[in-house]
A = this chain, B = another copy of it.
Amino acid sequence: MEKIASMKNQKVKQWKKLQTAKGRKEAGAYLIEGTHLLKEAIKADANILEVVMTEAFHEQSDLQIAEGDIILVSQEILASLAQTETPQGVVAIVQIPEAVPILEYRGKYILLDQVQDPGNVGTIIRTADAAGYAGVILGEGSVDLYNDKVLRSMQGSHFHLPVYRGDLQEMIPEFKKNGIPVYGTELNEAAVDYRTVSPTDAVALVLGNEGNGVSGKILALTDQNLYIPIFGEAESLNVAVAAGILLYHFVG
């Protein structure tokens, strides 16, 4: 096993660059943290480039990783790579897949229009996975998929279903051309109560930005726009909660 003790080691410097979207893009790789995500990556046969752990973690770990693939580092180095307050003692560097599976325009999809909170984006992808959706599309202005907070709330769901990036204005007409109903979400009189719309085998649901909702130019392209009724005094729902309610509504 290779061992690294110095924070100034060239590899450590390279790994730390993966903490930014720019660094990830340049390296074509991202960092995952903790045993759960690492096990998910192994199960999904992801291309794991390096597994970095402390000696203490290595001694009590039951992970099935060849010794030659492990790099042991000091507590200090691991803490600098991890982004949680009490890291478990392991991080791994995973290659960003070069190609995303072709979008088949079959089944259920969720489209995110400028959803910016990484916890919300990750939670929505996790929910889409749970609800058996075919894929998630991140529109322009949505947060980076490999952001550490997105990864933490996704809990490995990006290994289970494809997550695309694309221009929603170009993709919505494609869904419609393929006979898939496209529903936006908005809180106004023109929208219809989601409970009046029957579940369908295929659907494209658009969720929007935390503060501003789905943008007007996107709402104009959909077949219909839905709202979730508010019965109390809250002004709105959290976008990940709204997504959960709608995703499961369309499951039927």
Smallest CB–CB gap between A231 and chain B, Å?
Answer: 3
Kindly state the separation between the CA atoms of A61 and B238 in the bound complex, as whole angstroms. 27
Smallest CB–CB gap between A186 and chain B, Å?
Answer: 15
> Which residues of B lie under 8 Å from residue A229 when comparing CB positions?
251
- The answer to whether A228 and B240 have CB atoms under 8 Å apart is no
Determine whether A225 belongs to the interface, using a CB cutoff of 8 Å to chain B.
no
Kindly state the separation between the CA atoms of A153 and B239 in the bound complex, as whole angstroms. 12
- The answer to whether B241 and A127 have CB atoms under 8 Å apart is yes
Instruction: Please tell me the number of chain A residues within 8 Å of chain B, measured between CB atoms.
Output: 34
Known: A119-B119, A123-B241, A241-B244. A251 touches B234 (CB 8 A): no
**How many copies of the shown chain assemble into the complex?**
2
With both beta carbons as reference points, the residue of chain B lying nearest to A36 in the complex is identified as B235
Contacting residue for A161 out of B128, B232, B244, CB 8 A = B232
Determine whether A157 belongs to the interface, using a CB cutoff of 8 Å to chain B.
yes
Determine whether A237 belongs to the interface, using a CB cutoff of 8 Å to chain B.
yes
Known: A244-B237, A244-B244. A232 touches B129 (CB 8 A): yes
> Which residues of B lie under 8 Å from residue A132 when comparing CB positions?
231-232
Known: A228-B248, A241-B244. A234 touches B160 (CB 8 A): yes
> Which residues of B lie under 8 Å from residue A228 when comparing CB positions?
130, 248
- The answer to whether B119 and A236 have CB atoms under 8 Å apart is no
> Which residues of B lie under 8 Å from residue A126 when comparing CB positions?
234, 237-238, 241
Q: Given known contacts A127-B237, A132-B232, A155-B235, what 20 new A-B pairs fall within 8 Å (CB)?
A: A126-B237, A127-B234, A128-B232, A129-B234, A130-B230, A130-B234, A130-B237, A131-B231, A132-B231, A155-B234, A157-B232, A157-B234, A160-B234, A161-B233, A228-B248, A229-B251, A238-B240, A241-B243, A241-B244, A245-B245
10 interchain residue pairs of minimum CB distance: A132-B231, A241-B244, A130-B234, A160-B233, A129-B234, A129-B232, A132-B232, A123-B238, A245-B248, A244-B244
9 contacts between A and B (CB under 8 A): A123-B238, A123-B241, A126-B238, A126-B241, A130-B230, A155-B234, A161-B233, A238-B244, A241-B244
